[in-house]
Amino acid sequence: MLKKLFQSLRSPKRRTQQLRSTPEVLNSSQHSLQRAQFSRYAVNIVERLQNAGYQAYLVGGCVRDMLLNITPKDFDVATSATPEQVRAEFRNARIIGRRFKLVHIHFGREIIEVATFRANHPQNDEEEDSNQSSRNESGRILRDNVYGTLEEDAQRRDFTINALYYDPVSERILDYANGVHDIRNRLLRLIGDPQQRYQEDPVRMLRAVRFAAKLNFGIEKHTAAPIRELAPMLREIPSARLFEEVLKLFLSGNASDTFEMLVDLELFDPLFPASAEALEHNPTYTHTLISEALRNTDLRIKQGKPVTPAFLFAALLWPALPARVEYLQDRGMPAIPAMQEAAHELIAEQCQRIAIPKRFTMPIREIWDMQERLPRRSGKRADMLLDNPRFRAGYDFLLLRESAGEETNGLGKWWTDYQDANDSGRRDMIRDLSNAKEDGTGPAPRKRRRTSGAKRKRSAAADE
C-alpha cells in the first residue's frame, strides 16, 4: 500500500483536474452494471422522481463499488428536486441536517439518502448568502446548501471515482471526471485544485486515506502533495465529526493499512496527539502494539465477528499511558489510583480532539484498570477477576501487550492455563504462586507505603 502511495508522489508537476461540461455517456453495452444489482427501493425512488419531472440518478459509492464488484453498504440518490420537493413526493421521507440538508427515505430498516444537486460556493464573499452557504477564515465550508445543476454537482464532488451517475431506467453511466478511467487504473484523484478542496473540508484528507486503503488504490501525486502541509487543519474539525470519521477509518476492515498511511501522511498526530508523541519516543513498541491491534480488528471484521470501538481506542491510546502512570507513582501515588488518574487525564485530553462517547470511555478505563489488577492473583482474587465482566477484554489486552514485547513474567500464559484448569488445578496454581513468593522465585511483592498514623503509633510505643 505505501509503495503504491510513494509511486504516486514521484512527479513534482502539478495540474488541476478538469471536468467536462458534457459527460462521457457509457451505454449498457459499455459497462457491467445492471439495475437489478441495486436496491429496489433506490431504483424506485429514481423512477418516481423522474416520473415527477425531476432529474434523478444513483450516485457515488454505490456506483463505484458495483464497478469494482464490491457490495455497497448503502445506496445514494442525487436529484434536481429540493429537499422539500422530495419530501412532498414520499410520505416516508424526513429532512435532516443543517450544514448539508439531505432527505432520508425509510423502507423498514433500509434508508435511502437523497441529496439535491449542489453548486460550488460563490468566490466573492459579498455574493454569499449565509443562510445557504458560509466559510470560515481558512476557507472551510460551514454551510453547504447552494443548489445547482447536474454538471455543477459533479464538479463539486470530492473524487473522480465518486462523480459517477447511474440511471437505472436507461442503464447509462454519466461520467464527468474520467472516474471510470481512474477506477480501471485503481487511482484516487481529487476533482479541482487539491489545496483548495482540502481547505474547504479538511476531512477530505481522511477520506482520501480511507478510500485508498479500502479499495487498494494509489493516491494520485497532486492529490497527495498538499496533505502533510494541511494536516494541522484537522484540529479545526468538530470532535464529534472526527469520531465518526475515525470509526470509518478503523472499522472498515483495512485498519492496518489505514494506520500506516495516516502516519506517513502526518495525519495521525492531529487525531491522536499523545499516541503520536509515544510513537516518536518509543517507535518500535508503539507501532507494534497498535499495528497488532488493528490487524486483529481487520481479521475479526473479515470473519464477521463483533468489534468494539472501546478496545480499539484502548489500544490506540495505551502507548501514551504508562509514562503518565509512572510519573504519578514516582510522586507517591499507589499503582491502581495512579492508573485511574492517568487514564482520566489521557481520555479527557483525547476527547478534545475526538469526542469518544461515555459508553466507550468507561470500558476503555476498565480494560486499562484490569492491566493493574491481573497480576494480583493470590487467595480468591483470581476467581473474582475471572467473574469480572471486563475480564475477557482485559485478558485479550494483556496478550496484545505481550505480543508487542512487554515483559509480564508469563502473566498471559498463567491466565490462559488458569481458565482451562478445573477447580482442583486452579487451587494448585494459586498454591504454587504463594509458594513461589515465599521461596523468592516469584515476583517481588509490591512495597506498601507507611502511613503517618502508623508512624505515630510506633513512636508512642517506643516512648512507653
Residues forming the active site: 74, 76, 158
265: CB partners within 8 A, 6+ apart: 205, 209, 224, 227, 228, 231
Closest by CA position to 76, among listed 126, 125, 35, 112: 112
| Numbers of helices and strands, H then E, in the chain | 24, 12
Whole-number Å distance between alpha carbons of 49 and 77: 10
Residue 77, CA distances (Å) to 54, 61, 117, 346, 442 in order = 12, 11, 10, 42, 65
All cell numbers assigned to 23: 459527460
For 375-394, give the DSSP string: T--TTTHHHHHHTSTTHHHH
Q: Which helix (H) or strand (E) holds 120?
A: none
Q: For residue 78, list its beta bridge partners.
A: 57, 115
Q: Do the Cβ atoms of 367 and 394 come closer than 8 Å?
A: yes
Query: Please, is 455 exposed, middle or buried when counting C-beta atoms within 10 Å of its C-beta (0-12, 13-18, 19+)?
Result: exposed
Chain CA centroid to CA 231, Å: 16
The two beta strands, 76-79 and 110-116, are: parallel
Whole-number Å distance between alpha carbons of 323 and 278: 9
Residue 107, helix vs strand vs coil: strand
Closest by CA position to 62, among listed 80, 47, 84, 46: 46
Whole-number Å distance between alpha carbons of 266 and 229: 9
- The C-alpha cell 465482566 sits at 389
Q: Do the Cβ atoms of 278 and 253 come closer than 8 Å?
A: no
Find the farthest-apart pair of alpha carbons in the chain and give their distance in angstroms, rounded: 105
Buried b (16+ CB within 10 A) or exposed e, 131-146: eebbbeeebbbebbbb
Q: Do the Cβ atoms of 222 and 254 come closer than 8 Å?
A: no
- The C-alpha cell 445492471 sits at 34
